[in-house]
Amino acid sequence: MDELGLGLDLIIVLAVAIAGGMLARRLRLPIILGYLVGGIAVGPYGFGLVQDQETIRTLANIGVILLLFTLGLEFSLSELKRIGKVAILGGIAQILLTAAVGLALGKLLGWAMLEAIFFGFLIALSSTMIVLKTLMERGELDSGHGRVMIGILLVQDLSLVPLMIILPTMGGGGGELWLSLGMATLKTLLFIGVMLVLGIWVLPWLLRWVAGTRSRELFLLIVVALCLGAAFGAFHLELSPAVGAFITGLLIGQSAFARQAFADIVPLRDTFGALFFVSLGMLASLDFVVERPITVAVVVIAIIVIKFIICFLVPWLFNYSFKTALFTGMGLLQIGEFSFVLAGMGMKAGIITSDIYSLTLTSAIITMLLTPFTLSFASLLYQRLSQKMRLERLVASRLDPDWQSEQRQLSGHAVICGYGRVGRNLAKVLERRNLSYLAIDLNPQIISQLHARGIPCIYGDASNREILGHAQLKKARVLICTFPDFMAVELTTRNALKINPKLDIVARVHHDADAELLKGIGVAELVLPEFEVSLEIIRHTLHRFGLTILEIQHILCGLRGDKG
């Protein structure tokens, strides 16, 4: 009967995960938020439907291990290098500054020094999964603020390893603290050394041997076995099992089998990850909120303000634009999912009390729930502020004082707004034809590279009237908007047409409704990436069936006519 009870609890948890996920999708929110709300509903502080919570938490711990394992598989040093100093130095600064201010907040609340230090590092981490899913759904992964946020999150993820090693040792005092820290460091170095040996000489051979069987089942089994085996090995050395899984993921991630390992384990990760987030929701104490509403409100507001200011200042001080700084601050103000893991370790080690654990958990869930709305608010706020003359001048004042002379000689040129992959490809073609262009981008590294090559460019937000005012739009032949963010495209086109109503504009857009809006504004040419991909697939398919180029062109023109 106990087995049946566990089966029923699992069915309830999975059912509520599905229901919460579907509700979140309907509301266009990250699915994880649906899992959290579902967990609150069936937990002991909701309807109390799940009885065997310890077993569910055990399964959720497997979810944590798989989450860290896939995080290691996905971790990209090349991405960190591409984003540069703002990710590495800015990410480290953000963690330390947030931890320091969190320490001060803890002392104001009357906590002991170790509790306050631990709390500071708990709130320093943001939610990689929430932010990534929100950026994906908004189509902003490749935007300026998206790249900066991803870079800072990568540094935060990497910081998990030392934090999971150092923070639990803080329970000792004086000499015991240093002894515990020293022992933890030695054990970690021993574990990493063993894993490096296995990763260099054993893992590639083992994975190659299993892959040679051409059995996906056996390959999945060996990947899961390596993940859980490393977690058990770390646990046996009194380290966090999640650290062992993360290091193993990093090692496999450097091999030729990384993509297949990731593809095979993602369904397992998502299933156990859902259990993890539902179990977090079940841990959320509504009674704690009811009993201490002022404390919870003060701490949540303080966390939001602290993280917004610090995460705003990091890109701003690295010479990124106001827009990038605003969106980064709004996007990273939540507490991350791995803060729960650290908090559980801290409570187990006796460093923080159950009240601080509950306060952290409650604050994290509230800030996670707010994230999609804070980014939407950032869009609306920037749309309003960007039309104010003072802000336009503030943004323009951050530009290189020598840039204006480069633009005055331009005439009959193209203005490329957004020098990402699309903008770079266009620029290459224009350069080969000796056609002049001017680039506008929010990434200071890109602008520095263009300056070094002697290419006319402006650092700033192309949707800003002050910036566009120096792009010689009245002499320009065409303006091209490559942004994935529709709001930026709309603002750019509106402001550009105010300067030159006859300007020919080509814009990238993803939805039919957005396309209709831009047509009404006066945009001459609209490119829908998904539609263009479908036309190219149709072209190749019809060619394989033997249709002539003229026949295919006639069909494609008809489809374009229907679309228009």
Quick one: angle between helices 216-236 and 175-197, nearest 10?
150
Rg (the chain; Cα; Å)? 26
10 Å CB burial of residue 212 (0-12, 13-18, 19+) is exposed
CA distance 30 to 273: 14
Residue 357, token pair as written in the block: 């654990």
Which tokens sit at 443? 């990434």
CATH number of 2-171+193-385: 1.20.1530.20
What is the helix (H) or strand (E) element at residue 441, kind and residue range? strand 437-441
Instruction: Decide: 284 and 43 in contact? Cβ < 8 Å.
Output: yes
Kindly list the strands in the beta sheet with 437-441, ordered across the sheet, starting from the edge strand earlier in the chain: 457-459, 437-441, 414-417, 478-481, 505-508, 525-527
Phi, psi of 223 (to 5 degrees): -65, -45
pLDDT tens, per residue, the chain with 564 residues: 455 556 677 788 888 889 988 988 888 777 888 888 888 888 777 777 876 667 766 777 777 788 778 877 877 666 666 667 788 888 889 999 999 999 999 999 889 888 898 999 999 999 887 887 788 777 777 777 888 888 888 888 778 778 877 777 776 555 565 666 677 677 777 777 887 777 778 888 888 888 888 788 888 888 888 888 888 888 887 777 877 888 888 888 777 787 788 888 888 878 887 888 888 888 777 778 888 889 899 999 999 999 999 999 999 888 887 888 899 999 999 998 788 888 888 888 888 888 888 898 889 888 988 888 898 888 888 877 766 645 555 554 444 444 444 555 678 899 999 888 889 999 999 988 888 999 998 877 788 888 888 888 888 888 888 788 888 898 899 999 988 778 888 889 989 998 999 899 999 888 778 888 888 888 888 888 888 888 889 888 988 888 888 888 888 888 877 665
Contact indicator for 314, 328 with CB cutoff of 8 Å: yes
Which CATH number is associated with domain 399-527? 3.40.50.720
CATH 1.20.1530.20 spans which residues of the chain? Answer: 2-171+193-385
Q: Is the pTM here over 0.85, yes or no? A: no
Q: What are phi and psi of 509, to 5 degrees?
A: -150, 150
Beta bridge mates, 437: 414
Residue environment code for 467-485, b if the CB has 16+ CB neighbours within 10 A, otherwise e: bbebbbbeebebbbbbbbb
What DSSP designation does 484 have?
A: S
For residues 557 and 5, give the distance between their C-alpha atoms in angstroms, rounded to a whole number.
62
CA distances from 267 to 249, 264, 550 (A): 16, 7, 45
The identity of residue 215, as a single letter, is: S
Supply φ then ψ for residue 508, to 5 degrees.
-90, 135
Closest by CA position to 446, among listed 413, 394, 482:
482
Give Cβ neighbours of residue 144 (< 8 Å, ≥ 6 apart).
320, 321, 323, 324, 441, 442, 443
Q: What share of the chain is helix, strand, coil (3-state, %, to 5)?
A: 75, 5, 25
